[in-house]
Structure 1
Amino acid sequence: MTISDPEIHSSERQRTLAAAIFDVDGVLLESPHERAWREALRGLADPARFTSKMYQAYVAGKPRMAGARAALQELGVPDADRQAIVYAKHKQKLLEELIHAGGVAAFPDALRFIQAVAGLGWPMAVASSSKNANSMMKTIRLASGKRLFDMFSVNVCGRDLPLGKPNPAIFLLAATELRVDPTCCFVAEDASVGVEAARAGGMTALGVARRGDAIPLRTAGADLVVASLDEIAIDELADGRLERRTT
């Protein structure tokens, strides 16, 4: 694809995009996931040690048990493999309570971007390892009254796959169900493992750095990193190019 932004890898310059794949938590929704993971640590480790940086590095984008195990191992919790089962169950209970209490919100720029991409007539998929992604999206309505959940022609959230991110399986599955070549897809991700998965699948990776974490996303190989999806040039996207707005 023809892109002037210095973050774009030179090998990608001739790629033409035609489909979009979105992660959910941190890209489309501001969810209570991180809070639930932190509070569920009580009795296992000091919740204050579970920082946002740690969440992004060890939990975000990973299947539930993999994230639980990685977090406990990093915190030095004894018998992490066994304790991860308890930790994950407690986290899920807390998360469901927070969702029920209205703890989920959509990022306004994400809703604008989703509608803009839909307006281009592009097929869109949503792909999250979280088994809670669908229930959260069903709580969000756009100005049209349509649920966010219903905006995607393909939904592979929470599918049981042999390997989680950074393995590209979930994104390749989304591309297959979209009936689009992976090289014609861009993936919007906020986690380094998600960016790595997109790149491993031969897709263009759009890093969404809402937490000021642009550097890890670039290091993971993101083709373009933005703090807000409002930064994307829709007119260029219409021509198959992922570029930053210049005005």
Structure 2
Amino acid sequence: QGGALVTSTAATVTGSNRLGNFTVENGNADGVVLESGGRLDVLEGHSAWKTLVDDGGTLAVSAGGKATDVTMTSGSALIADSGATVEGTNASGKFSIDGTSGQASGLLLENGGSFTVNAGGLASNTTVGHRGTLTLAAGGSLSGRTQLSKGASMVLNGDVVSTGDIVNAGEIRFDNQTTPDAALSRAVAKGGSPVTFHKLTTSNLTGQGGTINMRVRLDGSNTSDQLVINGGQATGKTWLAFTNVGN
């Protein structure tokens, strides 16, 4: 049945699954099925074709890696950044990541899936589901509709502009660095290390009970992260949470 195959394109694996024969060899993977804890890592300079990522499966594509003709079903996870090249279909329709231009469209991130928009990159019409994470570096941008479901996260590691709509039922978090431990980031910042505040600019913000976590200095400078609504409006219900990073 596909089973819990866990491998990378650096390995050599051949066999059969419920779709037929599959191979992983010479930096190329063809016909792999990932489900129930299965994972395929497509490394830089390597490729994957006709990959089925089913419930509980994970496809991770490194910058410089390429995965085409990908089918992702509900409950599957994609891990990538805007330096990878990926195209296929998910539960929402067609999606793509162009590693050359840094542009991504139609991504669905859930169940541990994550996508990082690097500087100069763009993510359009992105849906972040439960346990999904969208991370933006300074200079990364959004367009179209960015939907954060309950249990979803969007992490801002620099100034970010959205020319479309952000719909938030999850969490938007301003962070100081790319460490995966946000609590550690805040502790280090409060301990005296420099804090770089960020600005999120969006045309519209619709709150669906989500939270925006911002940092503020209460030690006299009164500086903080910023949320700017540019030309549109903020509607619905959004919780604002503030963390003091001053001394």
Q: Counting strand residues as a fraction of each chain, which structure ranks higher?
A: 2
The structure, 1 or 2, with the larger RCO (C-alpha pairs under 8 Å, 6+ apart) is 1
- TM-score normalised according to structure 1 size: 0.25
More helix by share: 1
TM-score (norm 2): 0.25
